[in-house]
Chains A and B, each alone.
Chain A
């Protein structure tokens, strides 16, 4: 069976053309690999099976069976792969060429890489090496993900209704937001 790579720019409303451009030389050099690309509003990938947006369940099935998975740096895709016990290769969007509004994907993927739940790549050469490494290695079965603390903490906190925010505090917060939060 042909090896397969799934690439997803996510369902974000802004295009992620850099991901397509970085994948193009690799896809051209590997005609034996079946590449599936979910490109969203961005450019399709030459030589790949292209989809605007894949049905959610179908995308997960494809990712589960793929030899390598390449994603943008959003929390949703990273969480989905964690549930599938997969460690995806992740290219964070950066606030250049309207990829995304700020640098939050860069920062999130740095933390996610420290937690060992993604392979973070910041150049196209790193992307190509990471895909090559995934295809060359036998996939190891990951342990079931351990629950992260936020779920239980939120459940405990919101078991009771929160106290109402006082009017004075609401006004202070409105003023703080109007000034910009940092000040």
Chain B
């Protein structure tokens, strides 16, 4: 399986890196933000850097939609996977145009309230995963996998 892992740096990246048992078995590439922690923690991985900042920044959102279109066409992933945040939306909204499935994991610190990025990608997620029962109740069709810490 070819996986495209899309996530912000910082805690979202920490959640994604903790899943190495899964993604380590598959061919993969990453889309993340151009920050020092992401660069140092993804040494040796195939990485595309997205436009930053992404939080409530419309010009960068538009640039990242164009970037996502290019990356999805070039990488042709079977699955786009994300642990958030806003950078997930351009990739999830366009994944099906290249035949890719999508899976989103709400981070462990989302317990009783849905994240903004979770709400945005929920209609575009073939698999929507959460880590707590209270959040599963807010997202019909989601699955609770238990905590990743």
Which residues of A approach B to under 8 Å, CB–CB? 10-13, 53, 55-57, 73-80, 82, 101-105, 107-108, 111-112, 115, 117, 145, 148-155, 157-159, 161-165, 169-171, 173-174, 176-177, 181-182
Do B125 and A154 touch across chains, with their CB atoms under 8 A apart? no
Q: Considering the chains assembled together, what is the distance between the CA atoms of A150 and B112 in angstroms?
A: 17
Which residue of the partner chain, among A11, A149, A174, contacts B35 with CB atoms under 8 Å? A11
Do B9 and A11 touch across chains, with their CB atoms under 8 A apart? yes
- Extra pairs beyond A53-B36, A56-B36, A103-B113 (7, CB < 8 Å): A13-B53, A57-B40, A79-B15, A112-B149, A117-B149, A150-B131, A162-B127
Do A107 and B141 touch across chains, with their CB atoms under 8 A apart? no
B99-133 near A? 1/0 per residue, CB < 8 Å: 00111010111111111100110111111010100
Number of B interface residues at 8 Å Cβ cutoff, please give it.
57
B69-90 near A? 1/0 per residue, CB < 8 Å: 0000000001101000000000
**A154 and B37 in contact (CB under 8 A), knowing A75-B15, A76-B10, A177-B122?**
no
CB of B58 within 8 Å of the partner chain: no
Q: Considering the chains assembled together, what is the distance between the CA atoms of A11 and B147 in angstroms?
A: 23
Chain A interface SS verdict (over half): helix
Do B10 and A10 touch across chains, with their CB atoms under 8 A apart? yes
The minimal Cβ–Cβ distance linking B42 to chain A, given in whole angstroms, is 11
Do A177 and B10 touch across chains, with their CB atoms under 8 A apart? no
Which residue of the partner chain, among A77, A152, A162, A176, contacts B101 with CB atoms under 8 Å? A162
List residues 132-149 of chain B with CB under 8 A from any CB of chain A: 138-141, 143, 145-149
Q: Considering the chains assembled together, what is the distance between the CA atoms of A145 and B78 in angstroms?
A: 33
Chain A residues, Cβ within 8 Å of B1: 161
Which residue of the partner chain, among B11, B124, B146, contacts A149 with CB atoms under 8 Å? B146
| Most chain B CB neighbours (cut-off 10 Å) among A157, A158, A182 | A158
Do A165 and B126 touch across chains, with their CB atoms under 8 A apart? yes
Do A79 and B53 touch across chains, with their CB atoms under 8 A apart? no
Do A158 and B149 touch across chains, with their CB atoms under 8 A apart? no
Do A170 and B9 touch across chains, with their CB atoms under 8 A apart? no
The minimal Cβ–Cβ distance linking A40 to chain B, given in whole angstroms, is 11
Which residue of the partner chain, among A55, A115, A158, contacts B79 with CB atoms under 8 Å? A158
CB of B31 within 8 Å of the partner chain: no
Q: Considering the chains assembled together, what is the distance between the CA atoms of A142 and B102 in angstroms?
A: 38
| Most chain B CB neighbours (cut-off 10 Å) among A75, A111, A148 | A75
